Amino acid sequence: MKTTVTTSTGEYPVITGHGILKDFADLTQICREGTKAAVVTDDNVAPLWLDRLLSVLPDGTLRYVIPHGEKSKNWTLAGELLEKLAADGFCRDDTLVALGGGVVGDITGFVASVYMRGVPYVQVPTTLLAAIDSSVGGKTAVDLKAGKNLAGRIYPPKAVVCDLDTLATLPRSEWKCGLGEAVKYAVLAGGEIFDIMESGAGAENLERLIDLCVDYKRRIVEADENEGGLRRLLNLGHTVGHAIEAESALGFPHGVCVAMGIKVIARASVSAGYLPKDEYLRISALLQKYGFPECPYPLRSVIMHAAHDKKISGGKINAVVIRGIGRCETVPMTLDELKEFVS
């Protein structure tokens, strides 16, 4: 399946399928004469898929293996990658390749966006979360001590190549992270995505689920690339989710925190009269189906972390509330109003 995303700077394909890593060079056309590539991956993915990718790239392709996990998405490691690229003679026409999940994709995209004021990069997602969400849309970032993703740019990739075979090696915890983001798309879009999730996401409908989520995000991103309005809907569950991540000191993975955030917002939305009770029960049942826990922390203390949320504008957070399955909207709230809303 190929989905084309149109951006302010051009178009890029999102290609999904089984066994397509062997065709990577042909699909992306990155190995032009006189240019080279550099692959960034992590120490979990490297033993599984790095050699497979390097086998279809020219001899001498650079490779950088970083520690896995959110703690690697930091300013220091980004600087080290930039210094290594410079020392290895990486040029403006060369291409970075992000082989991994959301952390690898975010930091690689960020490095690509600032090295020599911008070099091409390609996303090769190897997790469900990256396949359906973070590899598409051009958001790149590193975390600061004050909060997640506070340094970053919107910088679209040249291509996204998702070999579904890589998802077969996912540990259960990473699979669950992706399902948290899939629940987000189910609530946002409703329709077939919700139906698939409600009936049970599995091998038989995985490609269809990924393609539907990518196409939904494509439509949102094309309408609002720089997150001036509509794209804020994609933050459903994230304001509370990021706050839960901070409260847990990254003890809970991102996708699980998003799912917990969706449950908090769904409960608050029904209490405020936004969300009909029957639709709240369907959302709640979906979260329970995939084993997502309740937020274990007092919500008033959790929400204090939202003071550093990058979505604050004019002293207010654009909170995403749920009017129904497939019907969400943003409501500007002060931090105190958000605390009252979720408590």
What is the per-residue DSSP string for 82-121? Answer: HHHHHHTT--TT-EEEEEESHHHHHHHHHHHHHGGG---E
CB environment 129-138: b (16+ within 10 A), e (fewer)? bbbbbbbbbb
What does residue 129 show for φ and ψ, rounded to 5 degrees? Answer: -60, -45
If 0-12 CB within 10 Å is exposed, 13-18 middle and 19+ buried, where does residue 29 land?
exposed
Sign of CA dihedral 181, 187, 193, 199: positive
CA distance 94 to 50: 19
| Catalytic residue ranges | 117, 139, 181, 217, 227, 231, 235, 238, 242, 254
Rg of the chain taking only CA atoms, in angstroms: 19
Beta strand pairing status for 121-125 and 37-42?
unpaired
Residue 343: how many other CB atoms lie within 10 Å: 12
What does residue 84 show for φ and ψ, rounded to 5 degrees? Answer: -65, -40
Q: Which residue, 98, 90, 40, is CA-closest to 65?
A: 40
Residues 6+ apart with CB under 8 A from 286: 183, 186, 194, 197, 198
Residues 269 and 322: beta-carbon distance below 8 Å: yes
Residues 6+ apart with CB under 8 A from 75: 142, 144, 151
CA distance 37 to 63: 9
The number of angstroms, rounded, from the C-alpha of 189 to the middle of its chain's C-alpha atoms is 17
